Structure 1
Amino acid sequence: MATHDDDKPRDPIKDSAQQIWLAGLGAFAKMQQEGSKAFEALVKDGAGLQKKTQQAAEETLSQAQTRMAGLASEFGAKTSAGWGKLENIFEERVARALEHLGVPSADEVAALRARVEALEAQLKARQAPAPRKTASRTAPAAEAPKRPRRRSER
């Protein structure tokens, strides 16, 4: 075998490894030269992505808040209606229990109050003294005015 490098048999694995090594060194050198530019480009891309993500998050939050407000309003309306029904049931049962015990209702008490007031008014009217006719009984009868005589009466 010859001792020159050109005379050596070539090893394809060594050649491939050498090329990979040289490509890595070339990439490293290029990154050193363009590193700051690449870094700045990455920062710019990251800031743009962050802005888009933040806008999407704010929109989603706004939509969620609107939905939650709607649900809260709907829940309040349903709850209010439920309490109204419960209140009506309670009032009806209490009214039936009071009626069963013989306690008069508010309408019956109001009607009774009006009836008592009317009876009191009638009683006062009967107890009031009758107006006296003092002037007509004690005073002498006034003379009737004289009328002129007619020709036939003369």
Structure 2
Amino acid sequence: MGKKSKSFEESEEKLTKAVRESAQEIWKAGLGAFTDLQKRARAMEGDRAGHVRETVDTLEKVFEERVTRALHSIGVPMRQDINALIDRVEELSRQVQELQAGAKKPVKKATTKKA
């Protein structure tokens, strides 16, 4: 059982690493393209430059949405997922502390009166 668990963890680690590397490469490629477009937009004058800036902004939004969707579809947790987990862990920690504090209080024994 130990070998299977270790093997599973290793393959999960490799997959996670591959996903991260792929996402980083995609992100870098997209940023490179946007940087190039921004440089071109700055070099232009007048109405054309404004149009190019709008196009760059639109492309940036589309790119971010697609990368987010792709990462989500392969199971990479998003910021909101991580924040929700953090909130839940904090809530559970608070509840555990309350339970521990309650357990430390001495329990009063019932007294019986003799007739």
TM-score (norm 2): 0.48
More helix by share: 2
Q: Which of structures 1 and 2 has the bigger CA Rg?
A: 1
